[in-house]
Every structure is written in C-alpha cells, then in structure tokens.
C-alpha cells in the first residue's frame, strides 16, 4: 500500500517537473518572441526617424531617445568623430559631463577602452562598491557605477562609440549583449544612411553676389519648410543675357545684375518661400504650399520688375555719347512639387528645359 502511494507520488512529481519544464520553455519562447517584436518595433521607429524632415543631429538624438525609452537605460550617449574631434551627438547625461564623455577615445588617457576599439568587442566595466568610480570619470562620483562601451565602425573605419551607463554597481551583469549588438548595428546603419544628408548639410554656402543659399539648401534645411505642405510650386528662371552683359559691358556689371535681380525678388518674397542660386545664371524659388495658379501672378510681376531694371556699368567707361546700361532678361518655368516625391527630379527637368530652350526665349512656361 505504502509502496503504491510512493509510486503515485513519484509519478506526480515527474509529471509536475515535465509540466514545469514545458511552461518554462513556453515562457522563454514567449520572451524571445516578445523581444523580437520589441526589436522590430525599434527598428521601425529607427526607419521612421530616418524618413523625417530633420537634421542629421536631430535624427541621431531621436534615435538615442528611442533607445532610452524602450530599454529603460539610465544613460545613453552617442559620440561621433566630426573630422577633427569626437563630439557628443546625443546624450541624456548633463551637458557639464560631455567633455569627459567625448574623450573616451583618447587612448593615452583611457586605456580601459583601447582593446575594445581595436577589436570591436564591447567593453563592460563596473565598480565594486558605492565609494568607487569608473576609470574614465574625473570630476563625477555618484552619476554612473556601471558602463558598457560599444565602438562604432562604418566600412571597418572607427567613427565613434555608443556608451551605456547605469547607476548601480554590476547593473549590466546579466544583460543580453546580443540584443545590444543588434541596436549597435542599427545605430551604424542609421549613421550610414544619413551620411549623404550630412554631406549636403555641410556643403551649403551663401553665394557671394546673390547672397542666397546654394542649391543644396533645398534638400536639407529648406525641405523642412517645403514639406510642411502637401503641394508647392517650384519656379526656376535663368538670366538669359548674363553672358552678353559680361562680354559687352563687364564681368563686374554682370555680378551687379545678379545682386540687383535677387534684391528685387527677395524684397517681395514671404518667409516660407525658399529662394536659392541654383547654378550659374539659374535660380530657383519654391513657393511652399502655393498652387501654380496662385503663384503665377506673382511670377508675372516678378518678371516684369526684373526686366524693368537698368544697372549702370561697373569698372568700365564708354564714349560720352554712349548711353549703356545692363537690362536683364529672364526665361521662367514653373512646376508643381508633391510632398514625398523627388524634388531634385522636378528641378532637373526644369534645368534641362531652360538649358535647351532657344537662347532668346523669355517667357513663363508651365511644365
């Protein structure tokens, strides 16, 4: 009798063990699936961030905020080399500590991360008790007690690092670094994706004679304003006789013509309209949020005002009986731009039209 009861209990215990193992496996599978869903959601958030009309630095900062919010890290900092020095691009650490955070690649001072940078393997450091401080900390004691250092590489070139910090000793002892590796790879992918945008933002210049931004401005900062609206009107015009003015009067007179034409147009443009020197004698205006029919009357008046100008010769003398002035003539083309489509495609078609139009053509054409 007793033996039978013992056998029944043994069988029950075995069944419970099998059941618990099954439940544990299901929980692990669920956690794994849940983590995959979380990672996919974060990746989607990253992709959404890339597509936004924001500067490169704003996008990197938003990515860092997503990481902090989703994984509940106390501190997260992304540091990137800008060509001359390492700069904190995003961090929720008080700005007074940024100089220390941006110097972690100084291998002469920070030997603790040297091997990590050389091997691309993350480095985990922590203090043993509350009174200790991390090796890279100089003036701060209580802020961070644990740190994970992830070097960042683009095409095998070291470009900076991602630093996670915790407020407790041994805070990251049990963290799954494979998940963090995925995030690191996503950060690198983001940096590679926005590199072209960074280049465009860095080469925008103010043109000397027109005092306008160069064409690159349209694809960076200017596009933020343009894409606040569903449709806009794009106008490109060419000063068709600028070469003739340069040759027959003087190059400085041609420069004066460009300056005066742009002054007249800018004086009547609203702030949300983007006016740039596109290339050489070609200029572009984007009437943000304005239909072609509404912009047409302004463009007609603009053309009339420009062609009424008379600019005196600069640094050149003529016979007393010669009444020489420079009178600009322009050829204009307008098109509609739809948010989400290729602005550069619209401008390219307009440029091709103006470049292949009859040299004497001076009118307003709708494309």
What are the tens digits of pLDDT across the range 288-316? 999 998 899 899 999 999 999 998 888 77
pLDDT at 15: 64
Which residue, 125, 176, 114, is CA-closest to 151?
A: 114
pLDDT at 36: 46
What are the tens digits of pLDDT across the range 1-40? 666 656 666 666 666 666 566 555 544 443 443 444 455 4
Written as one string, the DSSP assignment of 161-205 is EEEEEESSTTTTTT--HHHHHHHHHHHHHHHHHTHHHHHHHHH--
pLDDT at 27: 46
Question: 187: exposed, middle or buried (C-beta count within 10 Å: 0-12, 13-18, 19+)?
Answer: buried
pLDDT at 102: 81
Cβ neighbors of 204 (< 8 A, separation 6 or more) are 213, 214, 216, 217, 220, 221
Q: Are strands 330-338 and 364-366 parallel, antiparallel or unpaired?
A: parallel
8 Å CB contact between 126 and 172: yes
Segments of the chain scoring below 70 in pLDDT = 1-43, 46-47, 49-54, 105-110, 139-142, 194-203, 319-322
Question: Cα–Cα distance between 177 and 77 in angstroms, integer?
Answer: 17
pLDDT at 18: 61
pLDDT at 282: 93
pLDDT at 23: 58
pLDDT at 33: 37
Question: Cα–Cα distance between 32 and 44 in angstroms, integer?
Answer: 18
The percent of the chain in helix, strand and coil, each rounded to the nearest 5, is: 45, 20, 35
């Amino acid at each position: 009798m007793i033996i039978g009861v013992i056998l029944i209990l043994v069988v029950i215990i075995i069944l419970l063990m099998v059941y618990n193992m099954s439940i544990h496996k299901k929980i692990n599978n669920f956690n794994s699936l849940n983590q995959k869903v979380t990672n996919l959601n974060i990746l989607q958030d990253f992709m959404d961030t890339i597509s936004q009309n924001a500067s490169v630095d704003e996008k990197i900062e938003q990515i860092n905020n997503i990481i902090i919010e989703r994984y509940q890290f106390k501190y997260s900092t992304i540091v990137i080399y800008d060509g001359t020095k390492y700069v904190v691009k995003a961090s929720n650490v008080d700005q007074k500590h940024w100089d220390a955070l941006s110097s972690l690649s100084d291998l002469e001072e920070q030997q603790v991360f040297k091997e990590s940078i050389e091997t691309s393997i993350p480095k985990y450091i922590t203090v043993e008790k509350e009174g200790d401080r991390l090796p890279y900390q100089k003036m701060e004691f209580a802020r961070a007690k644990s740190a994970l250092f992830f070097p960042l590489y683009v095409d095998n070139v070291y470009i900076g690092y991602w630093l996670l910090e915790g407020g407790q000793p041994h805070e990251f002892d049990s963290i799954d670094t494979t998940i963090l590796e995925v995030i690191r790879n996503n950060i690198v992918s983001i940096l590679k994706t926005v590199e072209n945008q960074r280049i465009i933002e860095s080469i925008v210049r103010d043109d000397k004679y027109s005092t306008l931004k160069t064409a690159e401005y349209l694809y960076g900062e200017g596009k933020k304003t343009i894409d606040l609206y569903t449709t806009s009107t794009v106008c490109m015009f060419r000063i068709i006789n600028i070469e003739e003015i340069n040759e027959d009067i003087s190059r400085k007179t041609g420069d004066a013509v460009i300056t005066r034409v742009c002054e007249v147009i800018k004086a009547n443009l609203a702030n949300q309209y983007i006016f740039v020197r596109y290339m050489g004698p070609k200029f572009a205006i984007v009437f943000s949020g304005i239909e072609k029919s509404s912009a047409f009357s302004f463009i007609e008046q603009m053309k009339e005002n420009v062609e009424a100008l008379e600019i005196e010769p600069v640094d050149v003398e003529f016979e007393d009986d010669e009444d020489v002035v420079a009178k600009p003539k322009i050829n204009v083309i307008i098109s509609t731009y739809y948010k989400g489509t290729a602005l550069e495609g619209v401008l390219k078609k307009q440029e091709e039209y103006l470049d292949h139009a009859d040299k004497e053509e001076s009118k307003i054409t709708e494309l």
